[in-house]
């Protein structure tokens, strides 16, 4: 195997950092404080889980975009997402204080389907935000806007991050 001249980075380590420093960061108390105005309860496991899933879906979408633009290897992207999901699944009952890992997997699968069906570029209706608001059980247009804007912003952050990682490191298993 020919060396690329780049530093090597294990996908598992990258996934762990992504899960902790980016995905789970979205449910830190200081991040949730502003959302209390719109009815989000920082103590609610259900609310925190929906925010984590939105962030995770943003990563999934970013990986797809990066793969389509050839700035991130298709196989590495899929594997990275699986590692992040695995990390979160293992943290599910501890960090989010919810049910078992099978419940997490089932919920994640259904949420991915819901969000993917509503991720329509150029739409003037905040469909992802509406789905998020419905999932979290709060009917507030400000929360809908927050979710839609957060998804788009976080996804672009992930796309940029993946490009930098791809340029700088050789990802290994």
Query: In angstroms, how far is CA 51 from the centroid of its own chain?
Result: 9
The DSSP symbol for 48 reads: H
The pLDDT of residue 3: 58
Give the residue ranges of the chain where pLDDT is below 70.
Answer: 1-4, 92-99
Q: What are phi and psi of 137, to 5 degrees?
A: 85, 25
Distance in angstroms (rounded) separating the CA atoms of residues 61 and 26: 17
Q: What single string gives the DSSP state of each residue in 51-85? A: HHHHHHHHHHHHHHHHHHTTSS-HHHHHHHHHHHH
Q: Which two tokens stand for residue 10?
A: 């294990």
The pLDDT of residue 2: 52
Start-end of H helices in 74-140: 74-95, 101-118, 127-136
């Amino acid at each position: 195997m020919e060396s690329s001249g780049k530093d090597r980075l294990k996908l598992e380590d990258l996934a762990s950092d992504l899960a902790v420093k980016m995905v789970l960061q979205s449910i830190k108390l200081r991040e949730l404080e502003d959302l209390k105005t719109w009815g989000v309860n920082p103590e609610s496991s259900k609310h925190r889980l929906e925010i984590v899933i939105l962030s995770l879906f943003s990563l999934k979408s970013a990986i797809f975009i990066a793969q389509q633009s050839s700035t991130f290897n298709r196989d590495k992207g899929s594997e990275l997402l699986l590692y992040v999901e695995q990390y979160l699944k293992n943290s599910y009952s501890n960090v989010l204080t919810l049910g078992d890992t099978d419940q997490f997997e089932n919920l994640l699968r259904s949420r991915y389907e819901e969000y993917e069906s509503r991720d329509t570029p150029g739409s003037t209706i905040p469909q992802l935000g509406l789905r998020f608001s419905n999932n979290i059980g709060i009917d507030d247009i400000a929360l809908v806007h927050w979710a839609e804007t957060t998804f788009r912003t976080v996804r672009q952050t992930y796309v940029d991050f993946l490009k930098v990682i791809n340029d700088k490191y050789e990802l290994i298993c």
